[in-house]
Amino acid sequence: MLPPDSTNTKNNGAMRVAFFKGRKPPFISTKQVESRRESAAKYWWVNHKQTHLDEYASGIIWSPKTKKNGDSNEGYLNLTRVKVGDIVISFAEGVIKFIGVVTHSCVEAPIPKTHKKTANCWGDSGWQVSIEWVPLTPWLCPKNFLDRIVPLLPSKHSPIKKNGDGNLCYLSSISPELGKVILDLLTDSDWEALDAVTVLAVSNTMGLEKAQNRLPAEQLRKVTPEYIWEAVQILLQGSNADGYRSSVDYDLLVDGGVRLAPKQVFGLAATAALEMDIKPFHFTGGVGTVCFELLEVAGYKIVPKGQQVESVEIPTDIEDKEWAEGQVKLVYHLRRERSPGLSKAKKASFIKEHGRLFCEECGTDPIEVYGDVGAACIEVHHEAIHVADMGDEHKTTLDQLRCLCANCHRIVHHMLKLRQLDSTVDSQNQGAPLSEAVAR
């Protein structure tokens, strides 16, 4: 039996519950407990021998694929049949010591190092199932309840004999009726373990259902930068993403140092991109997920919650500093024009419409000249309404933007500076295309 202060116990919330004594039973009605038990797909009985302590500590059950002579074994094959949320009753040294809940179904795995002492009996390759074990205090002795247990034992591959001794079968399938009898016996002897087991069974079954509802990566990759940018704008305007909670571990940095919940942003973007109501259980967030990858591809930075990030001064380019120096509106123009995600959103939208990137002013296709790296030559510029003349409440839309090559963009900026310096310039120039402005 593992002591309450073991490493495994400290990392196992269910085991902490089981060892915590001296409080009243939780307020869980009989009907609720019954419905939780019904949620488990199956009940299993594992007969441990010399490996039971190692398997408790490792959170597994393991068996070879076949007998040493190569023959199949029902007790071994049963490991391939268990499902997440199933309940496993552990029998060792004549008593039931632990009850577990399956947290991950069967995988092929080499013999655990802790089982090497029995390696001469088994092959090196086997089946492994992950289990979250809950210790019983006190242990249950089946021989004390044979009148209730024996009538429910399976006719073939029974885990124990009618006298209560164990049979030579590693993992046996038992009926829900027998499984419930074992759990009912815990009501009087260890209700805390019963509660821990039922909660684990429900939570793991619900977790499996959510995992089955997750969308494949190839579908999530339809969430391109323009959808993510639009989602950011919606949240910045004070709207909420229904069904999503505030961020716990990470923040998405957007305009003006505002922090948004990454999953909220991606969920809204995915809802628009996939044209279906995307909820948190449809995808996962966190480092290494498709969600975080696509948010960063869209031009946004994700930082740990609470981490302080130094603001980046705009403009940062030397030439930009020269043409915007001393002109508050021009600096404001750059700041808005280069907000996180805006450039990538416009480019993604432009490619979707035209099939490629090119300068809307001179027609240059830099990708034809420089290859894929040529896309960096295309920049985004506010054309329909100059950013310098926008108010703080102005809501930018992607159709107000133009894709320009770096050269044309520079000239546009210089024309903008001239208009700001010379207030007598015809106001019509502000909305005119570059070619007409230069001609004038």
Percentage of residues in the chain with pLDDT exceeding 90? 29
Please write down the HEC assignment for all residues of the chain.
Answer: CCCCCCHHHHCCHHHHHHHCCCCCCCCCCHHHHHHHHHHCCCEEEEECCCCHHHHHHHCEEEEECCCCCCCCCHHHHHHHHCCCCCEEEEEECCEEEEEEEEEEEEEEEECCHHHHHHCCCCCCEEEEEEEEEEEEEEEECHHHHHHHHHHHCCCCCCCECCCCCECCCCEEEECHHHHHHHHHHHHHHCHHHHHHHHHHHHHHHHHHHHHHHCCCHHHHCCCCHHHHHHHHHHHHCCCCCCCCCCCCCEEEECHHHCEECHHHHHHHHHHHHHCCCCCHHHCCCCCCCHHHHHHHHCCCEEEECCCCCCCCCCCCCHHHHHHHCCCHHHHHHHHHHCCCCHHHHHHHHHHHHHCCCCCCCCCCCHHHHHHHHHHHHEEEEECCCCHHHCCCCCCCCHHHEEEEEHHHHHHHHHHHHHHHHCCCCCHHHHHCCHHHHHHC
Domain end (from 213, 242, 258): 213
Residue 155 inside a domain? The answer is yes
* pLDDT tens per residue, range 335-355: 555 666 888 888 888 888 888
Domain end (from 165, 192, 213): 213
Question: Cβ contacts of residue 363 below 8 Å, gap of 6+?
Answer: none
Residue-level length of the chain = 440
> Which is nearest to 350 in space by CA: 298, 408, 402, 410?
402
Does residue 169 sit in the same domain as residue 278? no
Does residue 194 sit in the same domain as residue 132? yes
Token digits of residue 249: 């571990």
Query: How far is C-alpha 369 from the chain's CA centre?
Result: 41
Residue 234 inside a domain? The answer is yes
Residue 287 inside a domain? The answer is yes
Going by pLDDT thresholds of 50, 70 and 90, the confidence category of residue 210 is low
pTM tops 0.75: no
Quick check: 384 pLDDT over 60?
A: no
Does residue 28 sit in the same domain as residue 132? yes
Residue 309 inside a domain? The answer is no
Residue 167 inside a domain? The answer is yes
Does residue 293 sit in the same domain as residue 323? no
Does residue 334 sit in the same domain as residue 232? no
Does residue 273 sit in the same domain as residue 349? no
| 3 cis-preceded (ω within 30 degrees of 0) | no
Residue 2 inside a domain? The answer is no
Rounded average pLDDT over 65-93? 88
> CA 217 to CA 186: how far, in whole Å?
43
Rounded average pLDDT over 280-305? 90
Rounded average pLDDT over 89-100? 93
Residue 311 inside a domain? The answer is no
Does residue 46 sit in the same domain as residue 195? yes
**How many domains in the chain?**
3
- Residue-level pLDDT at 339: 65
Does residue 108 sit in the same domain as residue 186? yes
Domain end (from 239, 271, 304): 304
CATH number at residue 206: 3.10.590.10
Residue 1 inside a domain? The answer is no
Average pLDDT of the chain is 76
* pLDDT tens per residue, range 216-268: 899 999 999 999 988 998 998 888 888 888 888 899 998 777 899 999 999 99
Does residue 86 sit in the same domain as residue 13? yes
Does residue 243 sit in the same domain as residue 128? no
Of the two residues 81 and 40, the one the predictor is more confident about is 81
* pLDDT tens per residue, range 130-179: 998 989 988 999 999 999 999 999 999 999 999 999 998 999 999 999 99
Does residue 354 sit in the same domain as residue 366? yes
- Residue-level pLDDT at 378: 85
Does residue 356 sit in the same domain as residue 235? no
Quick check: 205 pLDDT over 70?
A: no
Quick check: 393 pLDDT over 60?
A: no
Neighbours of 383 (CB within 10 A): 19
Question: In this structure, are residues 260 and 235 in contact, taking their beta carbons and an 8 Å threshold?
Answer: yes
Which range of residues forms the domain containing residue 431?
Answer: 318-439
